[in-house]
Structure formats: C-alpha cells, structure tokens
Amino acid sequence: MEDSLKVLERFKIKEEGEFKFNKKIIWVANKIDNPSYPDIKEIFLELYRDKIPQFFEISAKEKINLEVLPEEIFHSLEIIRVYTKIPGKPPDTENPYTLSKNTTLIELAELIHKDMVKNFRYARLWRNSNKPVIAGRDYILQDKDIVEIHSS
C-alpha cells in the first residue's frame, strides 16, 4: 500500500505527506480468492478503516464481483449518456452523447447545432417508458434519456 501511495504522489494524484487526493479514487481489493485474504483484509482495515471507508472486493482470476466495477467507475466519472432521436425515426442507441451530470436540454441542443438553440421550441423525452414527456430548455438530463428536439 505504501508503494502504491508513493506512485500516486509521484503522479500528483495524492498530496505528499497527507492522505488527500487531487482526483477521485476507487479503492479495489483484488485476490479475495487468496486463502490469506481474510487476514490481509483485517490488517488493512486496522490501518486504513478511517481513511478508506469503502472499497470493492474482487477476484480478477475467479471473476468474482467484476460486474460491480464498471458501473462504479461510470458513476464516479459523473457523466451521463443521452440518446437522440429524429422525429419519426427510432433513437440512435449506438452513439450517445456523453455529457456531464446536470447538463440541460439547451446545452445538448448547442452541442448538436448552434441553430437549434436559437430555434428551440421544446423536446420530447423518453425515460424508462414508451410514453414521452414534453421538456423545456432548462430540463436537466439524466442517464439514458432519449431526446427528440423540436425547433422552428
């Protein structure tokens, strides 16, 4: 662990001499399939319980808990995927817009084309259902929204 912390300091991810980080950190304990893991975990918790309140336990070799990791990484990035749809066509689920959390509809419209901002009227939005809702320019998008922007 000390060697890992030194590497993080060298790359300016961790502040030197402090347990403070300049980037988001996801702590992962690998090799939980190792017979000595319970003893290692106990020692680790003694040393770092107050500093590392949460860590994910996996075994890459035995493929234990690996499904949790990608989702956790995605959430830590604080981004969302938004799918667009042309009126009368199915949504483009192959090429989502990747946006920061708290992005509004009008910010998405600006990314698509600057004229959409000037001529924005409303958007139809689908979320977890087949029934669309009408949303305005200040609507805050959420992960996996499907958006159909209408402009004049």
Which tens digits make up the pLDDT trace of 57-82? 999 999 999 998 998 999 899 999 99
DSSP string for residues in 92-124? --SSPEEEETT-BHHHHHHHH-HHHHHHEEEEE
Residues 88 and 145 in one domain: yes
pTM of model > 0.85 = no
Which tens digits make up the pLDDT trace of 17-59? 999 999 999 999 999 999 999 999 999 999 999 999 889 999 9
Residues above pLDDT 90, as percent of the chain: 84
Residues 57 and 90 in one domain: no
Range of the domain at 72: 2-76
| Predicted local confidence at residue 128, as pLDDT | 78
Q: Which of 50, 76, 102 is the last residue of a domain?
A: 76
DSSP string for residues in 58-103? -BTTTTBSTTHHHHHHHHHTTEEEEEE--TTS----SSPEEEETT-
Residues 52 and 99 in one domain: no
